Amino acid sequence: MKVLGSRLLARIAIVALGLASAACPESARAAPLSDRDLQAKLQYCKTCHGVYGQGYHGAFPIPRLAGQQTEYVENQLRAFIERRRENKFMFTVTHVLSPEMVKALAAEFKDLDPKPLGGAPRELAAAGKKIYEEGIPNANVPPCANCHGADAKGNGPFPRLAGQLDDYILRKLVNWSQERGQDPAHPDTSALMEPIAHGLSESQIRAVAAYLSNLE
Kindly list the domain boundaries of the chain, sorted by start residue: 39-213
The third-level CATH classification (topology) of the domain covering 39-213 is Cytochrome Bc1 Complex; Chain D, domain 2 (1.10.760)
- H runs (alpha helix) in the chain: 2-28, 35-49, 70-81, 88-94, 99-110, 125-134, 145-148, 166-174, 176-179, 193-199, 202-213
188 vs 13, residue with greater confidence: 188
> In this structure, are residues 207 and 127 in contact, taking their beta carbons and an 8 Å threshold?
yes
Q: How many residues does the chain have?
A: 216
Q: What is the mean pLDDT of residues 25-32?
A: 52
> In this structure, are residues 160 and 152 in contact, taking their beta carbons and an 8 Å threshold?
yes
Average pLDDT across the chain, whole number:
88
Whether residue 90 is predicted with pLDDT greater than 90 in this model: the reply is yes
Q: Among candidates 205, 185, 18, 192, which has minimal Cα distance to 120? A: 205
**Phi/psi of residue 136, nearest 5 degrees:** -130, 90
pLDDT range class, residue 20, cuts 50, 70, 90: very low
Interatomic CA distance for residues 56 and 70, integer angstroms: 20
Interatomic CA distance for residues 175 and 86, integer angstroms: 12
Name which of 41-55, 166-180, 182-196 the model is least confident about: 182-196
pLDDT range class, residue 31, cuts 50, 70, 90: low
185 vs 137, residue with greater confidence: 137
pLDDT range class, residue 30, cuts 50, 70, 90: low
| pTM for this model (two decimals) | 0.83
Summarised one tens digit per residue, pLDDT across range 100-111 is: 999 999 999 999
